[in-house]
């Protein structure tokens, strides 16, 4: 019964005929019937081939692009009375279960061969370390004053919003493989002595500042050296994975930390802390 859902734009009576054909095992009859009900089947076939190929190459396709491409196919196929209307587009999307989504993340740009080779090599890298001594660190920007883009409202009330706050800080997060330890975070703001820090004697993190609230090589080095001192006191040797951004290039001499870089342009799929930890941190540290 699975293939029948592709044709949910048909009428109830037509659906019953298709379902009966499937149950009777007459797949060929069902296909001919649906193609007969579908106007311009050759055009639909060409357009779906174009759409499938484009999405396989991660090319974004919108409704206006489909309409323009359908007009071109119609001209090439000699179809003179075709109109790429909004109604036609909606029926086309329903017929093929197409929906409009936001393109998120950078994982589509990652070479799967590079990722797989690194995963194979990872076994040899981790062999000398326990799970509690394997860490991953990554920094992220936090727009801590950014209001949510969704709200409860009355049904008949128009929902308007204002500009989102651009105030941000950078936070370096690090945790180990078995989840038993989170290292002291590094927070980078724009101001050396923010008003909210008045009369505060101690912090659960390391705070530093610069003009743009960005990570720099100097700040990353200082953070690493502090972590190295803590690990030396605890008599622990740890392995830490970081990405190869510019601020991470100048690694100082470390006695108890071994730094290993992730392959270039693969952090969206290989960075462990980027697989939900950073997202959870941001969700818990903004207005909800």
**Taking the CA of residue 226 as centre, how many other CA atoms within 13 Å lie in the half-sphere pointing to its CB?**
13
| Per-residue pLDDT, 235 | 95
Residue pair 270/237 in contact (Cβ under 8 Å)? The answer is no
Q: Going by DSSP bridges, is the β-strand pair 206-209/186-189 parallel, antiparallel, or unpaired?
A: parallel
Residue pair 101/82 in contact (Cβ under 8 Å)? The answer is no
Question: What digits encode the pLDDT tens for the residues 201-254?
Answer: 888 889 999 999 999 999 999 999 999 999 999 999 999 999 888 889 889 999
Please identify which residue in the block is written with the tokens 């048909």. Answer: 10
Question: What digits encode the pLDDT tens for the residues 6-61?
Answer: 444 445 555 565 566 556 655 544 444 454 456 778 888 888 888 888 777 767 77
The span from the CA of 260 to the CA of 243, in Å, is 8
Residue pair 287/147 in contact (Cβ under 8 Å)? The answer is yes
Least confident stretch, 30-34, 46-50, 136-140, 143-147:
30-34
Q: Which residues face 172 on adjacent strands?
A: 139, 186
155 or 182, which is more confident: 182
SS3 content of the chain, % helix, strand, coil (to 5): 45, 10, 45
pTM for this entry: 0.59
CA 240 to chain centroid, in Å, comes to 23
Burial of 249 (0-12, 13-18, 19+ CB in 10 A): exposed
């Amino acid at each position: 019964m699975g293939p029948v859902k592709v044709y949910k734009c048909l009428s109830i009576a037509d659906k019953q005929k298709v379902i009966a054909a499937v149950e009777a095992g007459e797949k060929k009859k069902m296909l001919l019937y649906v193609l007969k009900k579908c106007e311009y089947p050759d055009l639909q076939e060409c357009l779906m081939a174009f759409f499938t190929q484009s999405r396989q190459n991660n090319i974004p396709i919108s409704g206006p692009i489909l309409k323009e491409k359908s007009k071109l196919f119609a001209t090439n196929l000699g179809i003179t009375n075709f109109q790429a209307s909004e109604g036609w587009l909606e029926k086309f999307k329903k017929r093929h279960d197409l929906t409009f989504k936001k393109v998120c993340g950078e994982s589509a740009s990652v070479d799967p061969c590079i990722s797989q080779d690194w995963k194979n090599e990872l076994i040899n890298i981790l062999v000398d370390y326990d799970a509690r001594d394997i860490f991953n660190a990554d920094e992220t920007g936090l727009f801590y004053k950014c209001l949510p883009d969704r709200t409860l409202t009355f049904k008949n009330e128009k929902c308007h919003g204002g500009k989102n706050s651009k105030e941000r800080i950078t936070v370096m997060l690090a945790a180990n493989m078995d989840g038993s330890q989170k290292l002291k975070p590094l927070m980078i703001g724009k101001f050396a002595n923010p008003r909210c820090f008045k009369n505060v004697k101690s912090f659960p993190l390391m705070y530093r500042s610069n003009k743009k609230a960005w990570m720099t090589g100097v700040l990353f080095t200082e953070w690493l050296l502090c972590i190295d001192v803590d690990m030396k006191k605890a008599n622990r040797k740890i392995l830490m994975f970081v990405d190869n951004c510019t601020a991470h290039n100048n690694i100082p001499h470390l006695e108890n930390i071994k730094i290993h870089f992730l392959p270039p342009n693969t952090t969206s799929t290989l960075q462990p802390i980027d697989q939900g930890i950073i997202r959870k941190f941001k969700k818990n540290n903004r207005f909800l």
